[in-house]
Chains A and B, each alone.
Chain A
Amino acid sequence: MAAFVAGGLCRAFGALLLSSVPRRALPLAPQAGQPLGGWLTAALRGLSGSAPLCTNDPMWKCRVKYTVRPVGMKKTGGRDHTGRIRVRGIGGGHKRRYRMIDFQRLRYEKGAPPEPFTEKVISVRYDPCRSADIALVAGGNRKRWIIATENMQAGDLITNSPRIGRMAVSANEGDAYPLGALPVGTLICNLESHPGKGAQYIRAAGTCGVLLRKVNGTAIVQLPSKRHMQVLETCVATVGRVSNVDHNKRVIGKAGRNRWLGKRPHTGLWHRKGGWAGRKIRPLPPMKSYVNLPRVTAQE
């Protein structure tokens, strides 16, 4: 009884720890030597050397400072914090290092005014953690990784602007503008639902959304699933399709390639398919609105 209560308390304490430590502060003292040693040696190493291939540190995601260098990842294998499999079919695969992508295009440097600025694309490379390619861009005093668009090459100049003028801007591919500044009908990607939140939609390889219409202060975008989405016109999106357009045309070729990607095989047991299978023909779901419009109620 006492042991059961103690076990429950420990688990609760563990959950508290994981959720409430957002920064990589002093690691708790006598835990495993591994995370402590890795953090200290990395700090003492200074500017030289390269990042480790993978870490055993369960808090590798809690890094606060942005860095361009790839960060070692710890694979979950589909297991959640209790240790049991939550998602089937994940495990194994090539080691990956995570490159911290900046999804908020309009992020200004420390001490920079909130004005339009340009950046130069230094290189475009493959990212093992996503289907799209990523681009290293540099502007001012900093470098960051962003999702590359279709025809982005090294040496391009891209602009990021927060201004919405009266006339629509003729945007070049790869630039980031608020939706209110773009002409209706442009193909966009890396869309955010609330201004300043960071891009969460249309990030996969080859996808693009279409700006359908602009209605007094909001804009309506068609997502790649043909769903309509209404957002404030100050939300920033990049122009163009996401890179790596032929991603869906690739042929896996063999079972081994799927295992390299970290996908474990399905079960071989034959199931009769139920109501979930087969082609469905139904009307589009209603438009999703992320705008809190004041409810217009008929008042007497």
Chain B
Amino acid sequence: SQGVRQAQWLTKTKLVEGLPPPVLSILQDPAHQLEGYEEAVRRAVSHARFWSTTEVGPNREHYCPVLFEDLIHLCRTMAAKYPSLTKRMLARNYRIAATWERESILLQVRGLNGILLNSMSPIPPVASKEEILATEEHVLETFYPIYPTIDLQEVNVYKELNDTGKSSCFKDGYPYSHPHTLFFLESANVRTDRFRPEQLRGKMLMFAFGNALAKAKLLYGNDPKVLEQPIVVQSIGTDGQQFQFMVFQLNTTDLLSSDGIKNLVWIDSDQNLYERALCVPEIKKKVVMRPAGIHGFQPDTFKKFLALYLHGAV
């Protein structure tokens, strides 16, 4: 239950609830809406949850990626209005490696990331200068008597790697070089193999931080310092029904001490796209309680998804 709090200490980050103001303004601007998006999203959910296999109800391994593909496709249709959206590329099975020191403990993030959306131009910083300076007084919370490195796997570090898959995926001169958004699909069938929402948020924070840090070290070198141009990486995690939205801004690579300027993260958690999607109607005592179909549909969640997608291009 302490996933995000532990990740905050490890990445020296301050948490802000809700989405940042620039994203909210994209959300509310009617010019950025997709016409008929509600019907289109309903179709996408029905396709994923009902129509994608020949069985009555497809399982999560099947419908989670299908839903994600459909939503990305809907977002991409906005490219007709905003041509800069075409300057983006999706990368799958993307491997990230980033290393940093945190109060004399060497930490690193390694592994398969999920799906990464790259863009040619970086996202402009989301927080104002005053907010960044205000994080200086914020104190990171500690969990006495537990160390913040609890439950982390101890490994022997032979090579401190810091790259956005440079050795494996992206060579120098790759045009889409800025990480824009990370997508995490919790598509395991068994509930114990999936991450819980707060664990998923912690994982999203760690990987967003890893990507941002690797990019920062690439751009500005390995010395720890405060960045004048903060790097912003977004991240969306879902299990097919619930969405977690996160915007992470890397303000400093000086992570050795616990004071000074901190990084910022805006989290919007537990946004349901729909409450339930029934393949067969719910019948009790020969009376139909709820017909088959999508119940509790919330189009706002897709609007936030779209706003995060458009962020940086409008």
Contacts and interface: CB of A to CB of B under 8 A. Distances in A.
B296 interface: no
B31 interface: no
Interface stretch (A8-16, A138-146, A247-255): A138-146
B17 interface: no
A138 B192 contact: no
Interface stretch (A46-54, A236-244, A278-286): A46-54
B150 A142 contact: yes
B174 interface: no
A148 B146 CA distance: 19
A47 B147 CA distance: 20
A142 B143 CA distance: 13
Given A48-B193, A49-B192, A140 B153 contact: no
A117 B146 CA distance: 11
Given A138-B150, A143-B150, A117 B193 contact: no
B193 A49 contact: yes
Interface in A122-144: 138-143
Contacts of B151: 143
B149 A119 contact: no
Contact of B146 (A47, A49, A140): A140
Given A119-B145, A120-B145, A139-B145, A50 B192 contact: yes
B1 to A, nearest CB: 9
Contacts of B143: 120
Give the secondary structure class of A's interface: strand
Contacts of B145: 117-120, 139-140, 157
Interface string B132-171: 0000000000011111011101000000000000000000
Among A118, A120, A141, chain B packs the most CB atoms within 10 A around the CB of A141
B186 to A, nearest CB: 12
Given A117-B145, A118-B145, A141 B150 contact: yes
A45 to B, nearest CB: 10
A140 B145 CA distance: 6
Contacts of A138: 146, 150
Contacts of B147: 140-141
A259 B147 CA distance: 44
Interface in A33-63: 47-50
Contacts of B192: 49-50
A138 B151 CA distance: 10
Nearest to B149: A141
A50 B143 CA distance: 27
A181 to B, nearest CB: 20
Interface string B179-213: 00000000000001100000000000000000000
4 closest cross-chain pairs (CB), A and B: A118-B145, A50-B192, A139-B145, A138-B146
Interface of A: 47-50, 117-120, 138-143, 157
26 contacts: A47-B153, A48-B193, A49-B192, A49-B193, A50-B192, A117-B145, A118-B144, A118-B145, A119-B145, A120-B143, A120-B144, A120-B146, A138-B146, A138-B150, A139-B145, A139-B146, A140-B145, A140-B146, A140-B147, A140-B150, A141-B147, A141-B149, A142-B150, A143-B150, A143-B151, A157-B145
Given A50-B192, A120-B146, A140-B147, 18 more contacts: A48-B193, A49-B192, A49-B193, A117-B145, A118-B144, A119-B145, A120-B143, A120-B144, A138-B146, A138-B150, A139-B145, A139-B146, A140-B145, A140-B146, A141-B149, A141-B150, A143-B151, A157-B145
